[in-house]
């Protein structure tokens, strides 16, 4: 039986992914900070396993991952680290507490979930970790400084664990979309220039489908969207100065 445990599952990309994998016969586990929408999604998915918790709470994460895996003979096929927060704005206009919270959830939360899940992933043939990266992990994005930094960290962790956990039979990858039409993006009160220039053409279901494809395939980074795929692959071949010039132009 294929199992997937999703953090940040109550809305947006996490919820869309949970619905898609459930429709395709997977046993779905749901983790999120917000209990009401989490419970509603669980009910929609026929009583899917769910726990309301903060992914920065390592003890709570460890207990929840153990409980979900124990309901499936100690196995976990796929961990999807989708929990994350975002704040647009000039660096100095965002409080230090908010900057720290972005790093804590987007980076520490991923570390906590990976650490807690490792024993169960090791027992499961074809196990995989999928992290929610971002196009902002390719080059630092103005007015998204701490979020961009957090996604650089996710990218580095993904690359390191992909090499380190190969010998354990665990694949590690990330999804790298540009802006996605989700409640998190819609709730922002500041619009950075890069958002105005690139627009928001993706929806949560697009990312869920990319997660499904990644679960069936290899590779480390999966850039999403035609425009960003072109930027990503050209960025692999271009000198860093070219990437910096492109970001400066997009952020005018």
Task: State residue 99's pLDDT score.
Answer: 98
Q: Give me the DSSP letters along 71-140.
A: TTTT--SEEEE-------S-GGGS-HHHHHHHHIIIIIHHHHHHHHHHHHHHTSTT-EEEEE--GGGTS-
Average pLDDT over the chain, rounded to whole? 90
pLDDT of residue 51 exceeding 80:
yes
Rounded distance between C-alpha atoms, residue 77 and residue 89, angstroms: 38
- pTM of the predicted protein model: 0.89
CATH of 3-250, one of 3.60.60.10, 3.40.50.720, 3.40.190.10, 3.40.50.920: 3.40.50.720
Domain boundaries, the chain: 3-250
Mean pLDDT, range 2-24, rounded to an integer: 97
pLDDT band of residue 192 (cuts 50, 70, 90) is confident
Task: State residue 183's pLDDT score.
Answer: 78
% of the chain with per-residue pLDDT over 90: 73
**Chain segment 84-96, per-residue pLDDT in tens:** 999 999 999 999 9
% of the chain with per-residue pLDDT over 70: 85
Mean pLDDT, range 8-14, rounded to an integer: 97
Q: Which of 115, 120, 139, 147 is catalytic?
A: 147
Active site residue 147: yes
Residue 136 token pair = 């902002």
């Amino acid at each position: 039986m294929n199992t997937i445990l999703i953090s940040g599952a109550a809305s947006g990309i996490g919820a869309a992914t949970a619905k898609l994998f459930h429709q395709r016969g997977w046993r779905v586990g749901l983790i999120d900070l917000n209990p009401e929408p989490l419970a509603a999604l669980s009910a929609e998915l026929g009583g899917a396993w769910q726990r309301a918790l903060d992914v920065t709470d390592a003890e709570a994460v460890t207990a929840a991952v153990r409980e979900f895996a124990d309901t499936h003979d100690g196995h976990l096929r796929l961990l999807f680290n989708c929990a994350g927060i975002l704040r647009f704005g000039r660096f100095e206009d965002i409080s230090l507490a908010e900057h720290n919270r972005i790093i804590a959830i987007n980076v520490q939360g991923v570390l906590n979930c990976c650490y807690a899940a490792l024993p169960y992933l090791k027992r499961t043939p074809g196990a995989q970790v999928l992290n929610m990266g971002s196009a902002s992990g390719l080059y630092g994005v103005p007015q998204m400084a701490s979020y961009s930094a957090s996604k650089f960290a996710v990218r580095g962790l993904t690359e390191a664990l992909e090499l380190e956990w190969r010998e354990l039979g665990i694949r590690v990858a990330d999804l790298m979309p540009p802006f996605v039409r989700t409640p998190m993006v819609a709730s922002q009160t500041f619009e950075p220039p890069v958002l105005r220039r690139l627009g928001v053409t993706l929806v949560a279901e697009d990312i869920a489908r990319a997660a499904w494809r990644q679960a069936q395939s290899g590779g480390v980074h999966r850039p999403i969207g035609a425009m960003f795929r072109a930027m990503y692959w050209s960025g692999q071949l271009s000198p860093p100065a070219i990437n910096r010039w492109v970001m400066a132009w997009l952020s005018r």
